Amino acid sequence: MKILLLMLILSLAHSGASKAQTLQFSERLKFEREEIEYELKRDLDSLYTQINRGAISGDLLCQENLRLHMSVLGSIASTQHEDPEKQDNSYPATVINLYPIDDSEYLVQIAFMSAETAGPEAIKLLFSLTAKRGDHGHFRFACPLRHRTRYWKQTEVGKITYHHSGPLNVKRAEIFDRKNREIAEKMSLEAEHFDFYMSLDYQQINRLLGYDFEQGSISKYRNGYGVDANHIFAIMNNEDFSHDVFHYYSGQIYERKNRNWITEEGIAYLWGNAYWTDPAGEMIEQNDLLADLDQLMKTNPDQTPTKIFEENTKAFSPLAPEVSARSTISALICQEVEQQHGIEGVLKMISCGRVPNNIDPYMATIKDLLGITEENFNQKVRELLDKQLALKRR
Ligand SMILES: [Zn+2]
């Protein structure tokens, strides 16, 4: 049955290849009424045209949570426009499934298929969206987040609304709520409200947003997603998303091109956490990584701080393969900057830029602020690590 369906999709995609700009419809789709078929096909085709043009306007979308729908559909639109060299590089798309989910509301699944490739590689994206029929027979589309979480519970923890299908770890949620306020305050910003969805893994996040299958996400599962339109999706079902919330607030103050990414990671580790969860599902904190950094440097004499910085060494901690030894060192340095120069010093570090690369302006700024030079870098980092290890032991 599955193979038959795949063949059907493939043949539909191929038949649509010559006129890729028109949305195709599987002949198996059943509509309740003829007028609904006409209106829905008309409006879906307009949406597909916008996607292929690479510009989504809000007029076809559901107004509730509009920013999120714009962002999700906008990212499909930009993937359709990946290669500006090609005149028409958009993948032919076919509506392969459609059924009612509520009064005048439907779930629509669209397959974006490569016209040139065969087999499973041809499936680029299977995307679902909801279509609600409003007055005058016009449909409004939305990503299926609300529909797919309709039986989830909601719990308010400070400024965060948690959406969860299983139990919520309130202690962790309170830590995140506190960090959200603290980070915003340090950056002289108003702490924002977030809708926080407790997703089990990255594949579930994709499905909640409508990406039933996405070729670029095959086998990816440890990441979270956000902050997007004040929506957050958990990293491996953990309530603390403070690492990326720091990046988010920093992005409110500075343009991306002016931010130094070694500082950003250091501060995110220090004020938030190391982004990844440990084998027990707990968020890894900067303090948890000090002993592993110590171990790395002691057992591998060639792994000097200078080398770790240049190579951006990872896989040094048994807690998670993704955590970075360079970011752990950067967090130590940023911690010292904050202690000696306060938030002003930290902001100087963040905004020192990345020309010609991230390392040079970073080194120039810590020379200014802490007297750390290329010559004494290894020794100074060792001292900062010993200082924090001693504090931790107390
Ligand atoms: Zn980060």
Whole-number CA gyration radius for the chain: 25
User: pLDDT of the chain along its 394 residues, tens only?
Assistant: 455 555 554 444 444 443 446 899 999 999 989 999 999 999 999 999 998 888 898 999 999 999 999 999 998 888 776 655 554 557 899 999 999 999 999 999 999 998 888 888 899 999 999 999 998 899 999 999 999 999 999 999 999 999 999 999 999 999 999 999 999 999 999 999 999 999 999 999 999 999 999 999 999 999 999 899 999 999 999 999 999 999 999 999 999 888 999 999 999 999 999 999 999 999 999 999 999 999 999 999 999 999 999 999 999 999 999 999 999 999 999 999 999 999 999 999 999 999 999 999 999 999 999 999 999 999 999 999 999 999 999 8
Residue extents of the structural domains in the chain: 2-144, 149-240, 254-394
Cα 247 to ligand 1 centroid, rounded to whole Å? 7
Domain covering 2-144, topology: Nuclear Transport Factor 2; Chain: A, (3.10.450)
Cα 325 to ligand 1 centroid, rounded to whole Å? 13
pTM equals: 0.91
Cα 272 to ligand 1 centroid, rounded to whole Å? 10
64 token code pair: 């509730």
Residue type, 258: N
Cα 50 to ligand 1 centroid, rounded to whole Å? 32
Number of residues that make up the chain? 394
Cα 299 to ligand 1 centroid, rounded to whole Å? 27
Q: How many CA atoms lie within 13 A of 350 on its CB side?
A: 23
Bridge partners (DSSP) listed for residue 277: 283
Cα 57 to ligand 1 centroid, rounded to whole Å? 31
Cα 1 to ligand 1 centroid, rounded to whole Å? 44
CA distances from 170 to 138, 156, 175, 240 (A): 42, 10, 9, 10
Residue type, 329: I
Cβ neighbours of residue 379 closer than 8 Å, sequence gap 6 or more: none
